[in-house]
Structure 1
């Protein structure tokens, strides 16, 4: 499954950088759909999510594997996560 409007690789925010199994972060949109947040470059991820955001690089052709593990309705490309939802550098 490929989407010609997406770049060949995407940078996806993850919930944790230390686990063996990485889960990408999904967000609920205002209309109730589940969104996969994706970035076309690392600098855009840092701008959109903050410098403490764990992430993983994924080839676009492998998005179907992510969908199988964590279904989503829509892909949000190069979005912005509000400050209150961002990861911080501290672990409590």
Structure 2
């Protein structure tokens, strides 16, 4: 699904769900409109892939998407470790 289609569907409140999925290549957005699920497409073809989840969220917000869900179940093990560790060991909460 193209970004322009997502923008039109979002503005007319016809999106049922937008889910950001973790993949080996990065994060992709699965868009559900009606009974159809499609991946957000890159301008040059193929799925639009984001290196970071916050980049995906900001881009979807710029298209008018107000709510997303996130599925991290396929997040590669190494990437999971990177989320919670730094060179100095586990991240510690401050405050």
Relative contact order higher in (CA < 8 Å, ≥ 6 apart) = 1
Q: Greater helix percent: which structure?
A: 2
The structure richer in strand per residue is 2
Q: Pick the structure with greater CA Rg.
A: 2
Same-fold status (TM-score > 0.5): no
After TM superposition, the score normalised by the length of structure 1 is 0.31
